[in-house]
Amino acid sequence: MTRRHLHIFLSVCACGYSMTRAAEALYLSQPAVSQAVAELEQYYGTRLFERLGRRLYLTAAGEQLREYAVHIEALFDGMEKGLRGGGSGGPLRVGASITVGSQFLPYYVKAFRQREPAIEVQARVRPSKELERALHENKLDLALVEDAVQGEGLLAEPYMEDELVGVCSRSGPFEQGQLVSRETFLQQKFLLREAGSGTREVFDRALAAAGVAVEPLWESTSTGALVNAAMEGLGVAVLPRRLAAAPLARGRVRSFRVEGMDFKRTFQMVWHKDKFVTPAMRRFMELCRTYELDYPEPCPEN
């Protein structure tokens, strides 16, 4: 079994499990592709593909090999780029969930660029589930997400704590810093982030722990839209404290707390268990861990 075998196998997977299309993409004959797959199956003593009708389907063993092969290929490519490129190892591919990507990632990347001007950081801001899939497919080196990840084969390290706060209009219904009873809170009209976002999951989990649920009046992917709606008295929003910091500092809205409800969460750095952690990736992770100690807290505009 050689790297050539793995490369051909991955090409078949990438071409919709078609050996014909893989052969065209690799400029090989179809018998050569079929022979390489057959040699892999003989080497491991198991079938990697099943043929049903005219189509090939990946078996469980084939899926397992694909996961390993993706990271073996990436490790080899990283070695080639690192050694031939003076040790830079190519770009660092970092993903972030929506909140982390809008609130922190630009500051992390700017600080890292100042320290490591020779290393390019490629960023992708997506929902957490998409980032987990990209890590499995080796399309990302590292992801920064809110709260725990669910995917198998991923390693996660908590690196920063955050909390959500209630936000309402300057005209009420609550005073700045007021501690509101849970019963009064649940009677409000809610302006919330979209279902599936890390912020919404924290909110829903806190309500589930209290044995209650609410139907939001507004749902939005935009923190600014929710702040503006709260400012106009359309309801109360529950947002990350840091994202609400700027409008609060300018007196556009008020913040309040809810008695007996925990809206705290932890940000996580996530990477694949088989990922080779390069020196550049290690230094970027260390910057994320210590960022709040070395730099003032970001306060973005909304």
Q: Which residues contact 208 (CB under 8 A, 6 or more apart)?
A: none
Rounded average pLDDT over 118-129: 89
One fold for 3-84 and 162-265:
no
Q: What is the mean pLDDT of residues 153-180?
A: 90
137's enclosing H/E stretch is none
pLDDT of residue 82: 62
- The pLDDT of residue 300 is 47
Tell me the average pLDDT of the chain. 85
> What pLDDT, on the 0 to 100 scale, is given for residue 235?
93
Please state, in angstroms and rounded to a whole number, the distance separating the CA atoms of residues 128 and 199: 11
Q: Where along the chain do its domains lie?
A: 3-84, 92-159+266-294, 162-265
SS3 state of residue 81? helix
- Of the candidates 220, 221, 245, 249, the one whose C-alpha atom is nearest the C-alpha of residue 235 is 220
Q: What is the mean pLDDT of residues 208-218?
A: 88
The encoded tokens of residue 2 equal 């050689």
**Three-state secondary structure call for residue 71:** helix
Please report, rounded to a whole number, the percentage of residues in the chain having pLDDT higher than 90.
Answer: 30
Using pLDDT thresholds of 50, 70 and 90, give the confidence band for residue 278. confident
Average pLDDT over every residue of 14-41: 89
For the cut 70, the answer to whether the pLDDT of residue 81 exceeds it is no
Mean pLDDT of 117-121: 90
Domain 3-84 carries which CATH code? 1.10.10.10
Render 29-70 in DSSP notation, one character per residue: -HHHHHHHHHHHHHHHTS-SEEEETTEEEE-HHHHHHHHHHH
Q: Which fold has domain 162-265?
A: D-Maltodextrin-Binding Protein; domain 2 (3.40.190)
b/e string for 146-173 if b means 16 or more Cβ within 10 A? bbebeeeebebeebbebebbbbbbeeeb
What pLDDT is attached to residue 270?
A: 94
**More reliable by pLDDT, 275 or 39:** 39
The average pLDDT across 76-83 equals 67
CA angle (151 as vertex; 270, 241 as ends), nearest 5: 50
pLDDT value for 113: 92
pLDDT of residue 88: 52
Pick the CATH number of 92-159+266-294 from 1.20.1440.230, 3.40.50.300, 3.40.190.10, 3.30.460.20: 3.40.190.10
Please report the pLDDT score of residue 299 as a whole number: 45
**Residue 109: band (very low, low, confident or very high) from pLDDT cuts 50, 70, 90:** very high
217-238: average pLDDT: 90
The average pLDDT across 154-178 equals: 90
Reply yes or no on whether the pLDDT at 296 is more than 60.
no
pTM of the shown model: 0.62
Token reading at 61: 């063993």
Convert 93-118 to b/e letters by CB count within 10 Å (16 or more is b).
bbbbbbbbbbbbbebbbebbeeebee
Amino acid letter for position 274: D
Other residues' Cβ atoms within 10 Å of the Cβ of residue 289 = 14
Instruction: Look at residue 297 in the predicted model and tell me its pLDDT.
Output: 54
